[in-house]
Amino acid sequence: MHALVIDDSRAMRIILGSILRDLGFEVAEAAHGKEALQRLRENERTDVALVDWNMPEMNGFEFVRSVRAQPKYDALRLMMVTTETDLGRVADALEAGANEYVFKPFTKDALIQKLTLLGIDPPEDA
């Protein structure tokens, strides 16, 4: 399984990447949406992208809209992982094509539950 972590915070990319690697994912990273689009072009086998909302150059919402406008990414599962807790923002992201939404701070177990909801079952020992 391939995951893409998109967050302007290097620390958050490290945290999410570490969790995902522990779950058996190959992980790529991007600091903003434009860089993430390039990562997707480089590896079209990406299964899931974990996307922050607030980033420079192209924010997470814009990234989700851009990805969903491209049919070749229809199978890509998108999970917002953000501090944006406003229900209007949650609804906007889901309407734009995000599949799940996780609020920061989060736990490894919460992340695993959301991945499972997306049809991604981490190994039993994770």
Per-residue pLDDT of the chain in tens (126 residues, 90 and over written 9): 999 999 999 999 999 999 999 999 999 999 999 999 999 999 889 999 999 999 999 999 999 999 999 999 999 999 999 998 899 999 999 999 999 999 999 999 999 999 999 998 765 554
Residues near 113 by beta carbon (within 8 Å), at least 6 away in sequence? none
Residues near 66 by beta carbon (within 8 Å), at least 6 away in sequence? 33, 37, 58
pTM of the predicted protein model: 0.93
Ordered domains of the chain (ranges, CATH)? 2-114 (3.40.50.2300)
Terminal-to-terminal C-alpha distance of the chain: 14
Distance between CA atoms of 35 and 29, rounded to whole angstroms? 9
| Nearest residue to 31 (alpha-carbon basis) of 10, 3, 46 | 10
